[in-house]
Chains A and B, each alone.
Chain A
Amino acid sequence: MKTLVNNLLAIYRRELQSYFNSPFAYVISVVFWLIGGLFLVLVLFSPDGPVAQVSAIDQLGVLPQSVDLPYEVLKIYLNFLGSLSMFILPMLSMGLYAEERKQGTLELLATSPLTNWVVALGKLLGVVTFYSAMLLPMFVLELIVFGSSDPAFPTILLLIGHAGLLLLAAGVLSLGMFISSLSESTVLAAVMTFGLVLVLWIIDEVASALPGPVGDALAHLSLLTHFTDFTQGIFDTSGLILFGSYIFLGLFLTAQSIDTLRFQRS
């Protein structure tokens, strides 16, 4: 057990270190921060933004019912961060195994006393940690913005929303890791992972368009539907289980794919 934890930590640390040493990861982060920050400014100050609109209606004195403005803003913003992440995540997961295959370091990992599961889990934890580091500045900005709300806005809603974002990211990254293990090409991995993200989007759209049990079933399987629940401050275990299942599926497929790799290697 102790060696398992040690191995996991070794893989995790190396993975994290490679992100913090990679100029590419910094470029992605900067783009993420730039667009994310810009959108926050737009939501808050744009003349067409929800804040400006509500205040305009309020000045006319015809506000139909009370509006929980911070809550609406948070929902819009978290959904935007989720969508933005969908473009960023394939670029984070693309190198996880493709790079190892290209460098030949997979042979080192495969001939070390490690199980495929430990390697995959360590890598996933590493990339999720890097993604949460990317989210951190956004979280601080939100704390400042929502801290100025009067009456006070419950911080727990922010935490639940970000937990949802992290879970969604972990699910996508886990599947992206599996895709990355399929080829030596990082570009191919990124494109295929983005394709997968598109499919997830389509499933979500179809689920909301279809009435009846089919739509319900699809909605239950959709990562994005459960993510929307989280952004609304609904922390339900079924969402947690679904995200957990996607993460597990990604890990399982990765471990299997690395195992079969040995059988076809010529």
Chain B
Amino acid sequence: MIEVDQLSKSYGATDAIRDVTFTVEPGEILGFLGPNGAGKTTTMRILTGYLPATAGTARVAGKDVHAESMAVRQSIGYLPETPPLYPEMTVEGFLQFVARIKGVSPGDLSARVTSAINRCNLQEKRSVIIRKLSKGFRQRVGIAQAIVHNPPVIVLDEPTVGLDPRQIIEVRNLIKSLAGEHTIILSTHILPEVSMTCDRITIINQGRIIATDSPEHLVERLTGKGGYCLELRGDVERSLSVLRKVPGVTAVDVIDSEGLAAGHSRFQVTIGAEDVGSAIAAQVVGQGLELFELSRNRATLEDVFIDLTMEESAVEESTAAAVSDEAVPDKEAIA
């Protein structure tokens, strides 16, 4: 449904995005995840025809977003970061206006507007002036204007930002209910959001795509690096030496034992590629240590995200440091 190939956009010398490539299948929800300023909004603006790309192509429903801009715009519903609303209009009047400019035929107009209002649960606010609506309702009107012309593709830029937890859940459910008949791209920097709503996730950082996968696969990628957490009673040194002797264990650390009963301590066991959970348990019990808890560390999406985005910036920082190191002798030479 959406094919983005090697898309780049630069403002002067700075690259907003570089070689962004991904595809979205019909009916899928793709989560666009990245820290603020990573290029999410830029990518979405190119998709919706608002910004021209510097290089690369993007196609929506087989049509190029630049060459066949008008046709693409008709098949996209877009909710920008700040919902584009006219405060002096009523909800219904505004949706009728949007439906008109999106090319809905006059005969279908009222049916489409009513359907969007029902979809977004705005029945009671139908004839209220937008200025008087709360933030949550405005966001819903924003989503309603994105779906009013029944577009095959919906692009939502940070749809839940600034909402309270209850509203967030409502908006998420609304988005989920739109999937299937619509193809959806949504951007966010909130992790639970993507794991709850999206079929696939694309992680973008500093204008580049770092990973595209399902939430489960992304987490799986990291579980290998995980380990076990143990709570034991007794002598800390002896426990440490026993744990270190288990084959396959690469490191053992004592971690913060605050809140534990007296004489209890907690250990973090890091393991290699092989999963040696049962060996650890056998060794601990065999050596007569008193075991209270043995649990596997599960990587969350947070870990994946931080891990992936940190790797990038660590590389950048080390190169930057190397450059500045080289620069110092030069200065001295000049002096």
Contacts and interface: CB of A to CB of B under 8 A. Distances in A.
A231 B106 CA distance: 43
A213 interface: no
A194 to B, nearest CB: 25
Contacts of A263: 52
B86 A262 contact: no
Interface in A1-40: 3, 6-7, 9-11, 13-14, 17-18, 21-22
Given A109-B101, A112-B101, A113-B103, A262 B51 contact: yes
Contacts of A17: 88-89, 93
Interface in A124-173: none
Interface residues of A, number: 28
Contacts of B11: 266
A6 B106 CA distance: 9
B125 to A, nearest CB: 18
Mostly helix, strand, loop or mixed at chain A's interface?
Answer: helix
A149 B78 CA distance: 61
Interface in A72-110: 103-110
Nearest to B94: A14
A10 to B, nearest CB: 4
Contacts of B87: 103
A210 interface: no
Given A7-B101, A14-B97, A104-B80, A111 B73 contact: yes
Nearest to B69: A113
A20 to B, nearest CB: 10
B295 interface: no
Nearest to A105: B84
Given A113-B73, A263-B52, A266-B11, A14 B103 contact: no
Nearest to A3: B103
B195 to A, nearest CB: 29
B135 interface: no
B76 interface: yes
A108 B51 contact: no
B145 interface: yes
Interface string B65-84: 00000110110101010111
Contacts of B86: 14, 18, 103, 105
A114 interface: yes
Contacts of A109: 101
Interface of A: 3, 6-7, 9-11, 13-14, 17-18, 21-22, 103-114, 262-263, 265-266
16 contacts: A6-B100, A17-B89, A21-B88, A107-B78, A107-B80, A107-B84, A108-B80, A108-B145, A112-B73, A112-B98, A113-B71, A113-B74, A113-B101, A113-B103, A263-B52, A266-B11
Given A3-B103, A7-B100, A265-B45, 12 more contacts: A14-B97, A17-B89, A18-B86, A22-B88, A103-B84, A106-B84, A107-B80, A108-B84, A110-B49, A111-B73, A112-B102, A113-B101
